[in-house]
């Protein structure tokens, strides 16, 4: 009899543990390659969210992915709840334009924007590339399909009237592979739309003598003046080995997006985890150091704000 009682008590305890666990809600954040900054954005948000699991029962993971376009598509398909995406691709996905023509996603919702991402071109010093023009006839890693840089590269080529055929070779290596490819002389240059400093460009510039390349000119000026999600961008000199001068290019913002299908309380908890611990968040990567709440809730967001984010920003008095 005594034995029986113990057994059933154990069963009750096990059952209630199971129930508590089954109330846990899992959220997944799409990021990018592990040598980029999106991965750190996702990991940092999850770290802050998971500190509060006992209170809100949310458990967050942020796996590595192909980047912006892959993240938006995963959210659209319901495979992921949230993700990081370039401001240009947030705009096009929501409006059904450019690569998203006929394939728009009007349930896409903005949460906040994060760091700036200059369109970054890095060439081997021995490749004789000082301006973007010099890439004609070179071997260039244009980025993996699904990445923001691959898609924005298409926009740049289009604006210049070039095609992929203008390169001797256009490879589609992942960000984690591109530094080694440059170092091994398998490509002359790599293209990456990314926050600075980041692991990939750091690895490349410390492995092989290489130079950041300017991207300027009337076609780029036009891209910037015609599209609100583009802006002039500078990569400060001295950030990477053998690159003492500032590099002038154009850029986008990294933005954090979700779907209107994701419940309001989930987005509210994620947003409060970030902004209640904002100094800690900003300390998690040098590209976050100068973030301000004000810019994050306005810049780069072209899809409507998710109601969960809006609720938090209103409570803080940041929006009407």
Nearer to ligand GLU by Cβ, of 240 and 268: the residue is 240
Can residue 36 be called a binding residue for ligand GLU (CB under 6 A)? yes
CB of 37 to ligand GLU, least distance (A): 4
CB of 122 to ligand GLU, least distance (A): 14
Tokens 């080995």 sit at which residue?
241
Nearer to ligand GLU by Cβ, of 116 and 308: the residue is 116
CB of 113 to ligand GLU, least distance (A): 13
Residue 168 makes CB contacts below 8 A (sequence gap 6+) with: 137, 138, 139
Nearer to ligand GLU by Cβ, of 148 and 308: the residue is 148
246: tokens are 């500032």
The CA distances from residue 198 to 60, 90, 204, 267, in Å, are 23, 22, 10, 27
Q: Which of residues 76-95 bind ligand GLU (CB under 6 A)?
A: 86
Q: Which of residues 183-212 bind ligand GLU (CB under 6 A)?
A: 193-195
Q: Which of residues 104-123 bind ligand GLU (CB under 6 A)?
A: 117
192 within 8 A of 122, measured Cβ to Cβ: yes
Using CB under 6 A as the binding criterion, the count of chain residues that bind ligand GLU stands at: 15
268: tokens are 């509210």
DSSP β-ladder status, 247-259 and 189-193: unpaired
**Distance from CA of residue 191 to its chain's centroid?**
15
Vertex 64: Cα angle to 60 and 68 (nearest 5): 100
Q: Which stretch binds ligand GLU (CB under 6 A): 33-41, 99-107, 268-276, 303-311?
A: 33-41
Among positions 37, 170, 204, 208, the unique one binding ligand GLU when judged by CB under 6 A: 37
Can residue 42 be called a binding residue for ligand GLU (CB under 6 A)? no
Can residue 300 be called a binding residue for ligand GLU (CB under 6 A)? no
> How far is residue 29's CA from residue 48's CA, in Å, rounded to a whole number?
13
Can residue 38 be called a binding residue for ligand GLU (CB under 6 A)? yes
Binding mask 52-71 for ligand GLU (x = CB under 6 A): ---------------xx---
The CA distances from residue 99 to 39, 148, 180, in Å, are 23, 11, 29
Nearer to ligand GLU by Cβ, of 257 and 274: the residue is 257
The CA distances from residue 98 to 18, 88, 95, 228, in Å, are 47, 10, 9, 15
Residue 20 makes CB contacts below 8 A (sequence gap 6+) with: none
Q: Which stretch binds ligand GLU (CB under 6 A): 13-21, 145-153, 165-173, 226-234?
A: 145-153
Closest CA to 181 of 211, 144, 149, 207: 207
The residue ranges that bind ligand GLU (CB under 6 A) are 32-33, 36-38, 67-68, 86, 117, 147-149, 193-195
């Amino acid at each position: 009899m005594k034995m029986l009682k113990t057994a059933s008590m154990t069963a009750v305890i096990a059952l209630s543990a199971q129930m508590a666990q089954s109330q846990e809600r899992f959220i997944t954040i799409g990021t990018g390659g592990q040598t980029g900054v999106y991965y750190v954005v996702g990991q940092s948000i999850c770290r802050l969210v998971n500190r509060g699991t006992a209170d809100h029962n949310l458990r967050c993971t942020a796996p590595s992915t192909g980047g912006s376009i892959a993240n938006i598509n995963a959210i659209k398909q319901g495979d992921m709840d949230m993700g990081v995406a370039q401001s240009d691709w947030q705009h096009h996905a929501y409006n059904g334009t450019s690569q998203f023509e006929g394939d728009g996603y009007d349930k896409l919702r903005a949460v906040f924007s994060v760091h700036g991402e200059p369109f970054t071109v890095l060439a081997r010093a021995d490749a004789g590339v000082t301006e973007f023009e010099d890439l004609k006839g070179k071997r260039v890693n244009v980025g993996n399909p699904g990445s923001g840089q691959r898609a924005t590269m298409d926009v740049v080529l289009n604006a210049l009237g070039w095609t992929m055929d203008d390169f001797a070779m256009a490879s589609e290596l992942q960000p984690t592979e591109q530094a080694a490819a440059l170092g091994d002389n398998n490509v002359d240059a790599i293209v990456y739309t990314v926050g600075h400093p980041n692991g990939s460009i750091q690895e490349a510039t410390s492995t092989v003598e290489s130079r950041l390349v300017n991207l300027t000119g009337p076609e780029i000026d036009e891209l910037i003046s015609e599209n609100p999600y583009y802006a002039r961008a500078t990569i400060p000199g001295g950030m990477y080995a053998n690159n003492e001068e500032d590099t002038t290019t154009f850029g986008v913002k990294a933005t954090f997006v979700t779907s209107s299908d994701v419940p309001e309380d989930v987005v509210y908890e994620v947003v409060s985890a970030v902004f209640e611990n904002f100094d800690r968040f900003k300390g998690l990567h040098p590209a976050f150091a100068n973030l301000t709440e004000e810019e994050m809730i306005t810049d780069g967001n072209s899809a409507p704000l998710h109601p969960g984010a809006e609720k938090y920003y209103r409570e803080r008095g940041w929006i009407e």
